[in-house]
Every structure is written in structure tokens, then in C-alpha cells.
Amino acid sequence: MSIGAQQREILLRETMARLARSLFDRGFTVGSSGNISVALEDGLLITPTNSCLGFLDPARISKIDRFGRHVAGDPPSKEIFLHRAFYETRPGTGAVVHLHSTYATAVSCLSDVDPEDCIPPLTPYVVMRVGAVKLLPYVRPGDPAMGEMIRGLQGSHACVLLANHGPVVAARDLESAVFAAEELEETARLVVVLRGQPVRRLTYEQVQELKQVFG
């Protein structure tokens, strides 16, 4: 590994710990729930299994090589297959965030949401930062079938909701993934708060304009 790559890895470890602590402190995840990963030139970093996002030691964050082998740090999250599925099927993915945030998880438990687009376009920001969110069927935590379901999407979605479980968000870099996960949670909160009320969504034309302007 070059000196530049080593320095980048050290910086990413510190950034992961800082952003994870921010998410934990603001209640986006609790206990030892949730996991975060970021891509490296020679593999990826991922939070360790049973670790608390509020108290990560940067030096103990797991490192996985490009062949999926654990090469440094504590043992990786048991849900690493979720992350690898995004990296392998969605080009340009630089980070993945999986949370058990309250409102997104609440939406994942509702039986009457559209599984093809379970977070409606209530604001321009959810369109710009998250996109269409697909609801995936329930499987138990740690079941590799979750990774296979994400692979089955063939990179078509940057974000999914795991039924009765929580959101998984992929983005080009770590900060973008965290910000998108936060935007998703805020929009899910609006979904719950507005439930039963007459709601004005963005129109198809408005959504297309946002996609054209912001990508």
C-alpha cells in the first residue's frame, strides 16, 4: 500500500468514527444496531460486528480486502453482504450506510406502502439525495439472502428499505451516504406525521426536472 493510500485509510477511519458518533448521538441508531462501510483502493472498511456506532475506535474498524477476506481490525459486521452487494452492482459506490432509524423503520413495517417506491416524493431533497426507495421482503438479520435481493436490483436503486428492519443507503462517498440516510429518515418522519392527511406530492414533471438538473 502506498503512503498516500495509508493516509487516506487513516483519515477514512477517523471520519467513519466521527460521523457514526454523530448519527448515534442524534438517535439515528441505538445500541449496537446499524453498520457503515467505505470503499478503499484495496478493499473496504466496515464497522465491526456488535459494535456501537457511538463509540467506534478508528483503529479497530474492520478491513476487508477486495476478495472479501478479513485482513485487519475487529471481525466485520455480519451484514457485510448488504454492503458488498451495492459495491458490486452499483458503479461509483464509495460508501454504504445501514441504520435502524425510527421513522424509516416504521415505514418498513407498514403493510400498505408501495413496495416499488415506499418513500413518496414529498420534498425536492428526497428526490435529489435519495431517489426511489424499494421495499425488500423480510428475511432475518444476518441472512445472506438480503445481499442477493440487492444484487437482483442490478444497481437500479441507491437506497432500499428492508421490511421490518430498516434502510440501506449507498452513495459516492461517506458524507453523501450519511446525508442521504438522514434525508431519508426526515422524509420517512413526514410520511408518518402526515399519514391520514391529504398530501400534495411533487408531480411527475417536477420530479423529472429535479433529476435533469441535479442528476
pLDDT in tens, 94-116: 999 999 999 999 999 999 999 99
| pLDDT for residue 2 is more than 80 | no
Distance in angstroms (rounded) separating the CA atoms of residues 215 and 201: 20
pLDDT in tens, 65-76: 988 899 999 999
pLDDT in tens, 164-210: 999 999 999 999 999 999 999 999 999 999 999 999 999 999 999 99
| Ramachandran category for residue 12: left, alpha or beta (phi over 0 → left; psi -120 to 50 → alpha) | alpha
* Helix ranges, the chain (H): 3-25, 80-89, 102-109, 124-129, 145-152, 174-193, 204-214
Split at pLDDT 50, 70, 90, the class of 4 is confident
What is the amino acid identity at position 116? E
Angle at 108 between CA 192 and CA 106, to 5 degrees: 40
| pLDDT for residue 89 is more than 70 | yes
Residue 108 structural domain: 3-214
DSSP string, 66-113: TTS-EEESSPBPTTHHHHHHHHHHSTT--EEEE---HHHHHHHH-SSS
Told to judge if 79 belongs to the known catalytic residues of this protein, a careful annotator would answer yes
When divided into structural domains, the chain yields a total of 1
Catalytic annotation, pick one of 9, 79, 182, 185: 79
Q: Comparing C-alpha atoms, which of 147, 128, 133, 154 is closest to residue 214?
A: 128
Residue 1 pLDDT: 63
Mean pLDDT taken over the chain? 95
Tell me what the mean pLDDT of segment 122-144 comes to.
94
Tell me what the mean pLDDT of segment 123-140 comes to.
95
Catalytic annotation, pick one of 41, 88, 103, 125: 125
**Percent of the chain predicted with pLDDT > 90:** 93
Give the CATH number for residue 125.
Answer: 3.40.225.10
| pLDDT for residue 9 is more than 80 | yes
pLDDT in tens, 16-34: 999 999 999 999 999 999 9
Q: Comparing C-alpha atoms, which of 104, 121, 100, 125 is closest to residue 192?
A: 104
